[in-house]
């Protein structure tokens, strides 16, 4: 019943969008107006929600939009059809569109029910927290960080979820299916309109959805899970509208100003969704106008004025929505008014900080990552081309004309010079727009530096370039088919058709691989097959329990739904769980279902690829799991604590008592209830926790005369992250209250953001205390400093800073070598590791030793670059010139030839260091 209600809501939005398209935008092609209807409705809903959310709940924003569209539907009359009728689709072209829609629907529906991508689950808590607390968007795993990125899809889903009982997963399922159909038809009809070719429209939709092949994405078909489907659907809408304005300026006078104004408004609202692509589409509009003005000088002044006004208006509207453009506008205003930043160290990646620098220091180069998904075209992962794939490296800056960047793309980009020459020769406005889209997207990240985080998000621009070049290639293919049909000789016609078929198939290999993988996955079990073949969607909670990769059980659902019913809009939960990528997905789902925020995670270290989920524990969590102490968790701002065991009262609960002084209030933990039968969760309510703000050391913190002397601090090579080490503090005078320890990086190589090293919070009473410390996650040179507060509000800096370096990787590299690798059988053997130094080797905890099998055939590690074949630990001292024997096993037999066994070592949680061979 609720599904039907959401469908009705989408139809109302589409109805209002249809009226705007026909009456305001002068879209007289009924089919195109219907394809534009839902995207226009969704853009307007996102814009209204963004502007009204500070004052209205999301359901109020949705109701306001529905009332507005109902009024538009009743008041605005559909105009009579004017102008020329676009060429109709032939039976074969309709069949091609039907195949495109059917294949895309099958893939999206199957992936939705088999398993969403990890990116979806990482963002899932945002959509649920928006329902409960509204804007601004807060990081679900770091509650003190406000996000400035592209989260309009989450806002849209959270708003629409009001129609299906606040179930954002169900709203995502239904909305994506309707949007997918609209997107395919929109692109096909927009291309048909601006190219005046039905064949180009049909093949354009096919190429855009299946033949882009940039990185792991085959096309728009598999771009639905992170919001790109919505982004590129609106991009296609705006490209069509801007080209239509250029056509009208070139052929028809006077201009229809309502069309220009509405297009400007829609473009401005698009900036709420994706600012970078707004700049991209506006640049295409400006370049297209310049091309027309060069050939039609009589309209140049008017068209350039219209273009400038439309671009300026779009940017002004977009700035009102905040986000990246709003941030850039505020930065510019600060520079003009000479207002300094309050804390330059907090221009952090975690808050999506963006800057613009042109020309960039590394001109005509982009900073590649180490994720193979964003390094190699999906076409290279097929059996035909896998042998030609080069080795994966650590990334870094590479020329956009070099092999490292080109192998990220496929034929549409490789053949772009030829297709661009075709567009210029044919003077095709549609070809110009797709070519400009590809060129501008390809060169922008190579010319402009957008700051550390945006600089690493090169894949967004590369995929947009691939979309532009794929659309341009579709126009060329349609033109070649036109020429092939006109060949008089049947033999030559067959040769031409065969060559075109092979060429199209070569572009389709990436999508074919993805579709084939879905079929294989569905065949693994009857349950998976039932999910894929069932035409609609199951109960959300039953589906969540059936997803094995999420590892959810009934007690998880009971806990999450109970927390969802709690009245606070900002519940911060510390939950005990294993800190692995698999458990992180489970944590994200529980956060989303409960509408809570987590505080037990650490920001991803610099040695992990950009975009890695923050699954690792922070220092407070590491210490708490070794020795429970309530101030550690209270210092993270948590107001709920979920434990897998009943916490010791003598260490935790008895501590939670008010002192006699009213100005000094200790944190408290009160047991609430348990969840589950045999394996339980214990839930505690925390009071008097400290809010963890953006500044670890408040600017107003005063200097104290008290001094701390620390003893027992481990050496730089004798401690590791993931372990807790006891130290003793001696104070120059007795203190009672909160004590925070924080590690200040002392080298420029480390991130200046002090949020990367969360403070450790303790309660101190007296003149001496024994506490536990854990080094920072990122290795380097640090200074350990202290701040103190009685009430948790006014802080004092204590004297007694100490040097606290952490250099375990350097210790491994200096001491360990692989002396011998022995293969006893195809699946096991042993390794001899030697300490080549004259000093004993011990790194302060369990040394993690991993082995990897390099395959010459795959040109990669057999189990992937992120996962070793096996792992073991060694927790003893290796004497000078001593040796240890490490047994290794593999799940699969080693190849007979063409392989290499590599060994690495690391801290329990740390960067892998390849152990060099001694032979």
In this structure, are 631 and 766 located in the same domain?
no
Gap between the Cα atoms of 49 and 58, Å rounded? 7
The pLDDT score that the predictor gives to residue 654 is 45
Q: What share of the chain is helix, strand, coil (3-state, %, to 5)?
A: 50, 15, 35
Vertex 760 angle, CA 755 and 762, to 5° = 150
Indicate whether 883 pLDDT > 80: yes
In this structure, are 650 and 733 located in the same domain?
no
Indicate whether 490 pLDDT > 90: no
Domain end marker among 790, 806, 822: 806
In this structure, are 349 and 387 located in the same domain?
yes
Which of 366-370, 648-652, 723-727 reaches the highest mean pLDDT? 723-727
In this structure, are 162 and 250 located in the same domain?
yes
The pLDDT score that the predictor gives to residue 756 is 58
Q: Which of 60, 812, 110 is nearest to 522 (CA)?
A: 110
Mean pLDDT confidence for 381-395: 68
Gap between the Cα atoms of 304 and 501, Å rounded? 42
In this structure, are 241 and 202 located in the same domain?
yes
Indicate whether 31 pLDDT > 70: yes
Q: Which of 355, 351, 374, 359 is nearest to 460 (CA)?
A: 374
The most distant pair of C-alpha atoms in the chain lies apart, rounded to whole Å, by 102
Q: Is residue 870 part of a domain?
A: yes
- What is the secondary structure of 434-482 as a DSSP string? HHHHHHHHHHHHHH-B--HHHHH-HHHHHHHHHHHHHHHHHHHHHHHHH
Q: Is residue 495 part of a domain?
A: no
In this structure, are 82 and 207 located in the same domain?
yes
Write the pLDDT tens digit of every residue in 192-213. Answer: 999 989 999 999 999 999 999 9
Question: Are 124 and 135 spatial neighbours (Cβ–Cβ below 8 Å)?
Answer: no
In this structure, are 664 and 774 located in the same domain?
no
Q: What is the pTM of this model?
A: 0.85
Q: Is residue 65 part of a domain?
A: yes
Mean pLDDT confidence for 24-51: 91
Indicate whether 237 pLDDT > 50: yes
The proportion of the chain whose per-residue pLDDT surpasses 90, expressed as a percent, equals 33
pLDDT band at 826 (very low <50, low <70, confident <90, very high): confident
Q: Is residue 526 part of a domain?
A: no
Q: Which of 224, 116, 130 is nearest to 178 (CA)?
A: 224
pLDDT band at 697 (very low <50, low <70, confident <90, very high): confident
CATH number of the domain where residue 798 is located: 2.60.40
Mean pLDDT confidence for 651-678: 67
The pLDDT score that the predictor gives to residue 346 is 32
Write the pLDDT tens digit of every residue in 889-901. Answer: 988 888 878 788 8
**Least confident residue range of 407-416, 487-496, 577-586, 807-816:** 487-496
Domain end marker among 740, 773, 806: 806
Specify the higher pLDDT residue, 866 or 152: 152
Indicate whether 751 pLDDT > 50: no
Specify the higher pLDDT residue, 274 or 342: 274
* Number of compact structural domains in the chain: 4
The pLDDT score that the predictor gives to residue 326 is 55
The pLDDT score that the predictor gives to residue 617 is 92
- What is the secondary structure of 713-770 as a DSSP string? PPPTTS--TT--EEEEEEEEEEEEEEEEEEEEE-STTS-S-GGGSPPEEEEEEEEEEE
869: Cβ–Cβ under 8 A, 6 or more apart, which residues? 850, 851, 852, 853, 862, 863, 888, 890, 891
Summary mean pLDDT of the chain: 84
Indicate whether 661 pLDDT > 60: no
11: Cβ–Cβ under 8 A, 6 or more apart, which residues? none
Indicate whether 579 pLDDT > 80: yes
The pLDDT score that the predictor gives to residue 392 is 67
Mean pLDDT confidence for 479-489: 80
Mean pLDDT confidence for 240-254: 77
The proportion of the chain whose per-residue pLDDT surpasses 70, expressed as a percent, equals 88
The pLDDT score that the predictor gives to residue 609 is 73
In this structure, are 207 and 328 located in the same domain?
yes
Indicate whether 107 pLDDT > 70: yes
In this structure, are 679 and 793 located in the same domain?
no
Which of 341-355, 420-434, 641-655 reaches the highest mean pLDDT? 420-434
Domain end marker among 482, 507, 542: 482
The pLDDT score that the predictor gives to residue 336 is 45
Specify the higher pLDDT residue, 301 or 16: 16
Mean pLDDT confidence for 496-512: 88
In this structure, are 435 and 353 located in the same domain?
yes
Q: Is residue 737 part of a domain?
A: yes
Q: How far is CA 787 from CA 344, 404, 699, 708, 832, in A?
A: 21, 48, 12, 10, 47
In this structure, are 792 and 759 located in the same domain?
yes
The pLDDT score that the predictor gives to residue 366 is 86
Which of 1-5, 400-404, 743-747 reaches the highest mean pLDDT? 400-404
Domain that holds residue 625: 552-684
Indicate whether 138 pLDDT > 50: yes
Q: Is residue 524 part of a domain?
A: no
Q: Is residue 443 part of a domain?
A: yes
Phi, psi dihedral angles at 885 (to 5 degrees): -110, 125
Q: Is residue 167 part of a domain?
A: yes
Q: At what angle do helices 416-426 and 458-485 cross, to 10 degrees?
A: 60
């Amino acid at each position: 019943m609720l599904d039907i209600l959401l469908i009705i809501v989408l139809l109302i939005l589409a109805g209002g969008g249809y009226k705007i398209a026909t009456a305001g935008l002068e879209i007289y092609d009924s089919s195109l107006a219907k394809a534009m209807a839902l995207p226009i409705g969704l853009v307007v809903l996102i814009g209204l929600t963004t502007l009204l959310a500070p004052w209205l709940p999301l359901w109020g924003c949705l109701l306001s939009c529905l009332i507005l569209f109902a009024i538009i539907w009743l008041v605005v009359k559909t105009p009579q059809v004017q102008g020329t009728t676009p060429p109709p689709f032939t039976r074969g072209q309709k069949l091609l569109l039907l195949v495109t829609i059917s294949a895309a629907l099958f893939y999206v529906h199957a992936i939705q029910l088999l398993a969403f991508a990890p990116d979806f689950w990482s963002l899932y808590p945002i959509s649920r927290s928006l329902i409960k607390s509204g804007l601004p968007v807060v990081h679900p795993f770091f509650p003190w960080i406000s996000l400035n990125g592209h989260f309009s899809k989450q806002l849209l889903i959270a708003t629409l979820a009001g129609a299906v009982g606040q179930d954002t997963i169900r709203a995502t399922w239904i909305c994506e299916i309707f949007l997918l159909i609209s997107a395919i038809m929109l692109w096909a009809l927009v291309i048909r309109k601006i190219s005046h070719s039905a064949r180009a429209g049909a093949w354009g939709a096919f190429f855009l959805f299946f033949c882009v092949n940039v990185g792991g994405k085959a096309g728009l078909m598999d771009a639905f899970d992170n919001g790109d489907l919505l982004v590129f659907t609106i991009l296609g809408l705006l490209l069509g509208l801007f080209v239509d304005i250029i056509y009208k300026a070139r052929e028809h006078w006077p201009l229809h100003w309502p069309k220009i104004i509405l297009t400007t408004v829609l473009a401005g609202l698009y900036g709420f969704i994706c600012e970078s692509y707004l700049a991209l589409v506006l640049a295409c509009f400006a370049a297209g106008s310049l091309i027309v003005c060069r050939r039609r000088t009589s309209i140049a002044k008017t068209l350039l004025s219209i273009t400038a006004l439309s671009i300026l208006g779009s940017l002004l509207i977009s700035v009102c929505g905040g986000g990246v453009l709003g941030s850039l506008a505020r930065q510019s205003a600060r520079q003009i008014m000479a207002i300094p930043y309050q804390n330059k160290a907090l221009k952090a990646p975690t808050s999506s900080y963006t800057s613009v620098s042109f020309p960039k220091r590394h001109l005509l180069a982009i900073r590649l990552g180490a994720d193979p998904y964003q390094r190699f075209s999906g076409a290279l992962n097929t059996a035909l081309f896998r042998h030609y794939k080069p080795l994966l490296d650590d990334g870094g800056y590479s020329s956009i004309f070099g092999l490292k960047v080109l192998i990220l793309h496929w034929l549409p980009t490789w053949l772009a010079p030829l297709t661009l020459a075709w567009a210029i020769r044919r003077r095709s406005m549609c070809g110009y727009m797709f070519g400009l889209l590809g060129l501008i997207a390809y060169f922008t990240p190579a010319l402009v530096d957008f700051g550390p985080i945006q600089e690493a998000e090169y894949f967004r621009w590369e995929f947009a370039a691939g979309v532009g070049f794929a659309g341009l290639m579709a126009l060329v293919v349609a033109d070649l088919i036109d020429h092939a049909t006109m060949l008089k000789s049947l033999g030559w016609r067959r040769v031409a058709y065969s060559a075109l078929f092979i060429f199209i198939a070569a572009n389709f290999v990436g999508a074919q691989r993805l579709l084939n993988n879905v079929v294989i996955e569905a065949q693994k079990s009857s349950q998976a097959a039932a999910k894929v073949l069932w035409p609609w969607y199951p109960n959300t909670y039953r589906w969540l329990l059936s997803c094995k990769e999420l590892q959810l059980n009934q007690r998880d659902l009971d806990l999450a739904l109970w927390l969802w019913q709690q009245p606070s809009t900002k519940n911060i939960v510390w939950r005990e769980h294993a800190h692995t990528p698999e458990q992180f997905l489970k944590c994200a789902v529980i956060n989303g279902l409960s509408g809570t925020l987590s505080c037990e995670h650490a920001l991803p270290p610099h040695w992990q690829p950009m975009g890695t989920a923050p699954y690792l524990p922070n220092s407070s969590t590491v210490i708490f799991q070794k020795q429970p102490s309530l101030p550690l968790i209270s210092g993270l701002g948590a107001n709920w604590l979920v434990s897998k065991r009943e916490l010791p009262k003598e260490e935790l609960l008895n501590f939670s008592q008010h002192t006699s002084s009213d100005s000094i209030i200790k944190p408290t933990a009160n047991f609430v209830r348990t969840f589950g039968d045999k394996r339980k969760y214990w839930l505690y309510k925390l009071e008097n926790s400290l809010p963890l703000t953006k500044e670890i050391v408040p600017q107003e913190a005063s200097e104290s005369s008290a001094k701390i002397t620390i003893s027992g601090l481990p050496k730089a090579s004798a401690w590791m992250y993931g372990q807790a080490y006891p130290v003793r503090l001696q104070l120059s005078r007795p203190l009672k209250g909160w004590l925070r320890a924080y590690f200040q990086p002392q080298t420029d190589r480390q991130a200046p953001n002090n949020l990367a090293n969360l403070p450790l919070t303790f309660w101190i009473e007296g003149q001496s205390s024994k506490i536990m410390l854990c080094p920072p996650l990122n290795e380097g040179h640090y200074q350990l400093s202290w701040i103190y507060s009685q009430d948790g509000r006014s802080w004092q800096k204590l004297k007694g800073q100490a040097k606290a370096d952490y250099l375990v990787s350097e210790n491994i590299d200096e001491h360990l070598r692989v002396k011998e690798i022995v293969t006893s059988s195809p699946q096991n053997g042993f390794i001899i590791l030697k300490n080549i130094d004259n000093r004993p080797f011990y790194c302060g905890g369990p040394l993690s030793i991993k082995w990897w099998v390099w395959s010459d055939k795959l040109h990669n590690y057999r189990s992937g670059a992120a996962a070793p074949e096996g792992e073991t630990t060694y927790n003893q001292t290796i004497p000078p010139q001593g040796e240890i024997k490490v047994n290794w096993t593999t799940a699969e037999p080693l190849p007979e030839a063409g392989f290499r066994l590599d060994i690495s070592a690391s801290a329990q949680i740390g960067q892998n260091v390849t152990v060099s061979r001694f032979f």
